[in-house]
Amino acid sequence: MAVSIWVDADACPVAIKEILFKAGPRAKTRITFVANHAIRVPPSPWLTRIQVEKGFDIADNEIVQRVNDNDLVITSDIPLADEVIAKGALVVTPRGEPLTKENIRSRLNIRDFMDTMRASGVQTSGPPPLSQRERQAFANTLDRFLAHAG
């Protein structure tokens, strides 16, 4: 069975989507963009989109339901990453960081700690804008996955 790439497209940066738009057809690998809003995907038999209803974790649940062993999921959503890793999928963030069985627990702990801080009124900032180095790290990680999968 051929592997697929699943993209948590609601929060995926445009620069990363553009890399994926080129990579799917080039590598003849199916890439599915899952979002709760309409997104444009260039016409290609290798690129598809699924628009789900608006709602908390609806897109995440769709990815979890459809992902298979050894598929790749692109997300920065830590709980989603945890669920798909448990199903045998591989995960990489839009910043090119692999999330694995070995590092997902610490990421969940950090996420929960930050949620607690925000709930207590501490102002936290979001992640910085995607740097050129991070874009390149993502592209390199994607290329390694595609070379291994092909």
Which pLDDT does position 119 carry in this prediction?
A: 78
pLDDT tens by residue, 9-19? 988 999 999 99
For residue range 25-83, list pLDDT tens digits in order: 999 999 999 999 999 999 999 999 999 999 888 999 999 999 999 999 999 999 999 99
Q: What tens digit of pLDDT does each residue of 123-135 get? A: 776 677 899 999 9
Angle at 90 (CA atoms; ends 50, 44), nearest 5 degrees = 35
The residue to which tokens 């949620």 are assigned: 115
Asked if 76 and 58 count as a contact pair (C-beta separation under 8 A), the reply is no
Does the model's pTM come out above 0.85?
A: yes
